[in-house]
Amino acid sequence: MHGPIEIPTTDQVTVTGLSKPALIGLGVGIAGLAATAALGASAGDDMLHFGHSMLVAIVFFLLISLGALFFTLLQHVTSAGWSVVVRRVAEAMTAAFPILGLLVLGVLVVPVLMGKPWIYDWADSAFVGAHELVQHKAGYLNAKFFLVRVIAYFAVWIGVSRFFSSQSLAQDVDQDKARTLKMQGRSGISMIAFGLTLTFAMFDFMMSLNAEWFSTMYGVYMFAGAFWSSLATLALLTMWLEKRGQLKGVVTSEHYHDIGKLMFAFTVFWSYVAFSQFMLYWYADIPEETHWFNYRIWGDWNGFALLLLVGHFAIPLLGLMSRHVKRNRSVLAAWAVYCLVFHFVDLYWNVMPEMVNGVAGGDPATTGPQFDLMDLTAMIGVGGLFAFAILKRIDGKPALAIGDPRLPESMAFQNI
Amino acid sequence: MSDQKKHDEIHGIVAYFDDVDSVMSAARKVRDAGYKKWDTYTPFPVHGIDEAMGTKPTILPWIVLGMGLTGMACGLLLQWYTNAYDYVFLISGKPDWSLPANIPVTFEVVILFSAYTAFFAMLGLNKLPHLSNPLHKLPKFSRVTADRFAICVEAKDPNFDAGRVRAILGAETSELEDCPVDTSRAALPLWFHAVMALVTCATFIPLSLAVKGRFATSEKPRYHVWPDMDFQRKRKSQTGWEGFEDGRSMRLPVEGTIPRGELRDDFELYFGVAQGAPVPPHVTFDGGAMGGDNFQWLSSFPTAVVVDDAFLERGRERYGIYCGVCHGAQGNGLGAVALRAAAIDAEQWGWVSPKALQSDSAKAYTNGELFHIASNGISSMKGYGSQITPKDRWAIVAFVRAIQASQALEAAPADLPDGTDFEPVPTIKDVRLSEASVDAPAAGSEPAGEAR
C-alpha cells in the first residue's frame, strides 16, 4: 500500500472566511422571500400561488436537511468506516432545521391558525363543513394539533441533529472514542424517531394538500426523494470544500464513487416506490384513490408526468450506472445538479396541481402548470436562508471529523 | 533442455510472503515483467491488488446488463403473448396490454435473469468449479488461508522462464518452492458411488409422481393444501347462492344507477328535447307524431355541437356508412337494400320501404324527432343508438336536412341559380314493382310516393 495515512491538522481543515458569504446568503434569502411575498400579494388569488410556491421551496430544502440527517444516523447505525470524511458535511447540512422551522411556522402554520386556506383547504372551517370525508379527519387535521405536531417534528429534528453534531465536534478536540460508542448507541432510536417524524411531517405538509386523498406509501416516497437530493447536495458541498482546500487530499474519488452509488441506488428506489404507489392505485382503480393521479397524469400535466418518468428514472438510471461517471468529480457534479433539478420537478408535480384543482375543483386537470416568477423567487428565498444556516455553521469549524477513530480507515478507503 | 524438463515437471513456482506490502510489491514486479498466467493468494481481500496485478476490469457487468435487458424483453413478451395475444385475458376491465399491470412481473424477471447471470457468469469467468489445484498438495500453501500470502507463476505462461521467475520473486522473499504437477488420480470412495447412485434414482421420483398424476385415475378426491383458498366464500358471476331469494349470486344494479361517466345531463344532446323537458323513452315509436305533444322536441341543434362544414361532412360520411344502404345516397329511399326488397316483393312479408327523406312527412319531423328516430328507430327500422355516438347522430340529422334542402326535389327550387342543371330524381315509386305489391292498398289518403 501507500504508507501511513497522514491525518491533516485541525488548522488545515478548519473552514474560514465564510461569515461574509453567509450574510450574503441571508440577504439574498430575505430579499427572495420579500419578492415572493410581494408577487404573491399582487397576484390577486388570496395568496394561493404564494403559499404553494413557498411550500415547494420549503419542503425542497427541508428534505435535503432530513436526508442529511438520515445519512448521519445511517453511518452511526452501521458503524460505517468509508463515510467519516464526508460526515461532517452531512452534519452541517442539518444546521438548517431551526431556520426551516421558523419558515414552516410562519408560512405553513400561521395561515392554518388564522383559518386561511392559502395552502391547506382543511384550514377553512367552511370547507371542512362541506366535505364529510374531511370532517372525519378533523381530529387530526385541525389547527391546534397541526401546530403541536410541527413543534414536535422540529424538536426531534433539532434535538437529534444537535446531539450528533455536538458530539462529533467535541470529539475533534478530545478524540474520545466513547463519544463514537455513544453516537452509535443513540442512533437506533434516533432512526426510529426520524422515520416517524418524516412520515407524519410529509402527511401533514404534502399529503394533506388534498385532504380527501391518502396513501400509506407517501412517507417512503418523500423519504426516497429526500435522500436522493441530499446525496446530490452532499457531493456538491464536499467538492466545494475540497476546492477550497479544507478537504483537499482527504476526500478521494473512492468516496465520490460511494456517494454516486447511493445516488444510483436511490434513483431506482425512488422509482420503485413511486411506481408502486402509482400501480397499486391504478390497478384497484378506486375513484377515491385515483383522483390524485387523475389530476397529475391526464390533460396539461401529462407532459410533466412523462418528464418525471423519463427524467427522474430512466435517464439517471442509465447515466449513473457507470463507475467512471461516479469516479469523475465534474461529471458527478453535473449529475448532482441534475438530481436537484428533478427533485424540484417531483415536488412541483406533487404540489402545484392542488393549487388549481384540489378537492373542490370539478374537472380533473383543467389547468396545467402555471409557472410564475414566484416559483423561482421562493426557491431563491428559502435557498438563501438555507445557505446562510449551513455556511454559518461550518464557518470556523473543522470540515473534517478529525477526532473520529475511524478517520484513517475512511481516508484509506478503496473501492474494489 | 533441463528447463524443458522442468516445464514438464512443475505446475509453477510459488513464493510466500508475510505481509501485504511485500506481496503487493512482488505482484507489481511480476506484472511489470509481463507474465499473464499467475495469481496472488491472500487470506483476506487486499485493496489495490487488482491494480498491482494489472488485472483488467471484468466484463461481467456488461454480461449482466445484457441479460437484464434480455430478462426485461422476456418478461414483457411472456405477458404479452399469454395475456394479450394468444388467449386474450380480460382482468378487472384493464386493457389487454397495459404496462402498469405488467411491470411487476417484468421487474422480477429482470432481477431473476440478472442475479442468476451474475452468479453463474462469475463462476464461469473464474473457471469455477475447479475441482483440484496442484497447489493444494503443498503443505506450506495451506497457510495462505490463515496468515500468509503467496504468488504462483504458472509454467504454462508463454514467457515462463524458471530462472527469471525465481530471480524476480527471490528479490522480495526467500521462501520459494516449485509446485509439482499433480499426477495422482483422485479415486472416489466406494460409498460415494453408492450414495450417488441412490440419489440419482431418487431424482426420478418427482417425475414419476407427475406422470402418475397425469395418466392414472383415482377414487380419492383431490387433496387441498389450502382449503380456504380452493373453496372461497366469495360468489363468482353466473353461479347460484341460496342467500338470495332468486337463488342467483349476481344482483342487478340499484334502480337509477348511472355508470360513472354516463350521466346524460345534456338533454338536447342526448335526447333531442329541451333541457329539463320530459325525457322521451328509449323506445321505437310507430311513426307519425312521436309521442304526441308530450315531448318538447328540439327544432334546432343542441348547443354542444357546432354545425359547420366539417360537421356536415361528418354527417355525410356517417350517413353513407349507416343510412345510405336503405335510404339511398340521395335520401330518396332507393338504397341497395330497398331496391332488393322491392325486387323480391318483401312487402308481402311485412317489409316497410325506407322513407324517402325528402318527402313532406320526413320534412315535417323536427330535428329532435329525427334524432330520436336515428337513435331508437321507427316502425320496423331499428335504432342506431348503440352504434353511432350522439354527436354523430346529430351530424346525420344535419346532413338529412341538407338532403331535404337540395336533393330529389320534384320541382326546381326558386333560388336555384340560372343555368344549373335540374332533374327530378326518381323515388321508389318510380321503381318497377311486381303486380302484387302495386295492388296493395295504401290505407288512408297517403300521397303517392310515400313509403310507410
Could you give the C-alpha distances from A280 to A286, B33, B405, in angstroms and in order? 10, 61, 57
In a domain, A45, yes or no: yes
Average pLDDT over residues B94-109: 92
If asked whether residues B273 and B176 sit together in one domain, one would say: no
- A372 band by pLDDT with thresholds 50, 70 and 90: confident
Smallest Cα distance from A350 to chain B, Å: 20
Is the distance from CB of A207 to CB of A214 less than 8 angstroms? yes
pLDDT higher than 80, residue A360: no
Question: Does any CB of chain B come closer than 8 Å to the CB of residue A298?
Answer: no
Helix (DSSP H) and strand (DSSP E) numbers for chain A: 19, 0
Grouping H, G, I as helix, E, B as strand and the rest as coil, residue A83 is: coil
> What pLDDT score was predicted for residue A14?
93
In a domain, B177, yes or no: yes
> What pLDDT score was predicted for residue A406?
95
- Total domains in chain A come to 1
Average pLDDT over residues A4-20: 89
According to DSSP, the residues that pair with B17 across neighbouring strands are B149
pLDDT higher than 80, residue B136: yes
* Chain A environment of B65 (Cβ under 8 Å): 321
Question: Does any CB of chain A come closer than 8 Å to the CB of residue B320?
Answer: no
CATH number of the domain to which B326 belongs: 1.10.760.10
Smallest Cα distance from A217 to chain B, Å: 17
If asked whether residues B177 and B276 sit together in one domain, one would say: no
Cα separation of the two ends of chain A: 14
Q: Which of A7-21, A253-267, B121-135, B214-228 has the highest mean pLDDT?
A: A253-267
Burial of A105 (0-12, 13-18, 19+ CB in 10 A): middle
| Residue B162 CB partners (closer than 8 Å, separation 6+) | B3, B6, B7, B10, B13, B155
Average pLDDT over residues A163-168: 96
Question: For chain A, what is the mean pLDDT?
Answer: 93
> What pLDDT score was predicted for residue B431?
62
Interchain contact, B100 vs A282, CB within 8 Å: yes
Interchain contact, B45 vs A416, CB within 8 Å: yes
Average pLDDT over residues A68-91: 97
Task: Report the C-alpha gap between A272 and A266 in whole angstroms.
Answer: 9
pLDDT higher than 90, residue A109: yes
> What pLDDT score was predicted for residue A2?
55
Grouping H, G, I as helix, E, B as strand and the rest as coil, residue A411 is: helix
In a domain, B82, yes or no: yes
Residue of A nearest to B51 (CA): A416
Residue of A nearest to B25 (CA): A1
> What pLDDT score was predicted for residue B424?
65
pLDDT higher than 70, residue A384: yes
* Chain B environment of A321 (Cβ under 8 Å): 65
Question: Does any CB of chain A come closer than 8 Å to the CB of residue B47?
Answer: yes
* Chain B environment of A283 (Cβ under 8 Å): 92, 94, 100-101
pLDDT higher than 60, residue A348: yes
In a domain, B216, yes or no: no
Q: Which residue has the cell 325528402?
A: B358
If asked whether residues B273 and B170 sit together in one domain, one would say: no
Percent of chain A with pLDDT over 90: 84
Which candidate, A409, A260, A399, A415, places its Cα nearest to that of A330? Answer: A260
Q: Which residue has the cell 347460484?
A: B240
pLDDT higher than 60, residue A68: yes
If asked whether residues B177 and B307 sit together in one domain, one would say: no
> What pLDDT score was predicted for residue B206?
94
Q: Which of B23, B25, B47 to mutate to test the interface with A (most CBs of A within 10 A)?
A: B47
In the listed set B119, B153, B183, which residue is the last one of a domain according to the structure? B183
Least confident of A145-149, A178-182, B242-246: B242-246
In a domain, A7, yes or no: no
In the listed set B183, B213, B236, which residue is the last one of a domain according to the structure? B183
Average pLDDT over residues A85-104: 97
Smallest Cα distance from B56 to chain A, Å: 13
Average pLDDT over residues A226-248: 96
If asked whether residues B281 and B417 sit together in one domain, one would say: yes
User: How far, rounded to the nearest angstrom, does the alpha carbon of residue A408 sit from its chain's CA centroid?
Assistant: 30
Pairing assessment for the beta strands B38-41 and B10-17 based on DSSP bridges: unpaired
Burial of B95 (0-12, 13-18, 19+ CB in 10 A): exposed
If asked whether residues B283 and B179 sit together in one domain, one would say: no
Smallest Cα distance from B317 to chain A, Å: 30
| ipTM score | 0.80
Question: Does any CB of chain B come closer than 8 Å to the CB of residue A287?
Answer: yes
Give the gyration radius of chain A's Cα atoms: 22
pLDDT higher than 80, residue A351: yes
In a domain, B277, yes or no: yes
In a domain, B358, yes or no: yes
Side-chain-side CA neighbours of residue B91 (13 Å): 14
In a domain, A311, yes or no: yes
pLDDT in tens, B301-325: 999 999 999 999 999 999 999 999 9
The residue with greater pLDDT, A414 or A271, is A271
Smallest Cα distance from B258 to chain A, Å: 15
- Identity of the residue in B21, B50, B101 whose CB atom sits nearest the CB atom of A1: B21
Interchain contact, A285 vs B24, CB within 8 Å: no
Angle at CA of residue A117, ends A115 and A118, nearest 5°:
120
> What pLDDT score was predicted for residue B415?
76
pLDDT in tens, A289-345: 998 998 888 867 888 899 999 999 999 999 999 999 999 999 999 999 999 999 999
If asked whether residues B148 and B297 sit together in one domain, one would say: no
> What pLDDT score was predicted for residue B281?
85
In the listed set B183, B215, B238, which residue is the last one of a domain according to the structure? B183
In a domain, A133, yes or no: yes
Residue A46, by phi and psi: left (phi above 0), alpha (psi -120 to 50) or beta? left
> What pLDDT score was predicted for residue B429?
62
Cell of A246: 479544507
Q: Which residue has the cell 460526515?
A: A87
> What pLDDT score was predicted for residue B358?
82
> What pLDDT score was predicted for residue B448?
42
Question: For chain B, what is the mean pLDDT?
Answer: 86
Least confident of B29-38, B197-206, B222-231: B222-231
The residue with greater pLDDT, B216 or A266, is A266
pLDDT higher than 70, residue B235: yes
Question: Does any CB of chain A come closer than 8 Å to the CB of residue B52?
Answer: no
In a domain, B446, yes or no: no
In a domain, B372, yes or no: yes
Question: Does any CB of chain A come closer than 8 Å to the CB of residue B426?
Answer: no
Task: Report the C-alpha gap between A56 and A46 in whole angstroms.
Answer: 18
Least confident of A40-49, A118-127, A205-214, B415-424: B415-424
Task: Report the C-alpha gap between A54 and A390 in whole angstroms.
Answer: 20
pLDDT higher than 60, residue B142: yes
> What pLDDT score was predicted for residue B445?
41
Residue of B nearest to A412 (CA): B47
* Chain A environment of B45 (Cβ under 8 Å): 416
pLDDT in tens, B263-274: 888 999 999 999
If asked whether residues B29 and B155 sit together in one domain, one would say: yes
Range of the domain at B380: 267-439
- Total domains in chain B come to 2
Question: Does any CB of chain B come closer than 8 Å to the CB of residue A1?
Answer: yes
Range of the domain at A104: 27-409
> What pLDDT score was predicted for residue B350?
84
pLDDT higher than 50, residue A230: yes
Strands laid side by side in the B38-41 sheet: B38-41, B149-154, B10-17, B176-180
Amino acid identity for residue B19 in this structure: D
Could you give the C-alpha distances from B316 to B311, B332, B394, in angstroms and in order? 9, 15, 11
DSSP conformation letters of A88-132: HHHHHHGGGHHHHHHHIIIIIIHHHHTT--SS-GGGSHHHHHH-H
Residue of A nearest to B55 (CA): A416
Grouping H, G, I as helix, E, B as strand and the rest as coil, residue A245 is: coil
- How many cross-chain Cβ pairs, A to B, lie less than 8 Å apart? 28
pLDDT higher than 80, residue B55: yes
Smallest Cα distance from B393 to chain A, Å: 26
> What pLDDT score was predicted for residue A235?
98
In a domain, B58, yes or no: yes
pLDDT higher than 80, residue B425: no
> What pLDDT score was predicted for residue B442?
46
pTM check: above 0.80:
no
For residue A154, report the phi and psi dihedrals to the nearest 5 degrees.
-70, -30
Interchain contact, A287 vs B260, CB within 8 Å: yes
Interchain contact, A278 vs B100, CB within 8 Å: yes
If asked whether residues B292 and B423 sit together in one domain, one would say: yes
For residue B428, report the phi and psi dihedrals to the nearest 5 degrees.
-60, -30
* Chain A environment of B93 (Cβ under 8 Å): 285
* Chain A environment of B21 (Cβ under 8 Å): 1
> What pLDDT score was predicted for residue A359?
43
If asked whether residues B301 and B399 sit together in one domain, one would say: yes
Is the distance from CB of A237 to CB of A91 less than 8 angstroms? no
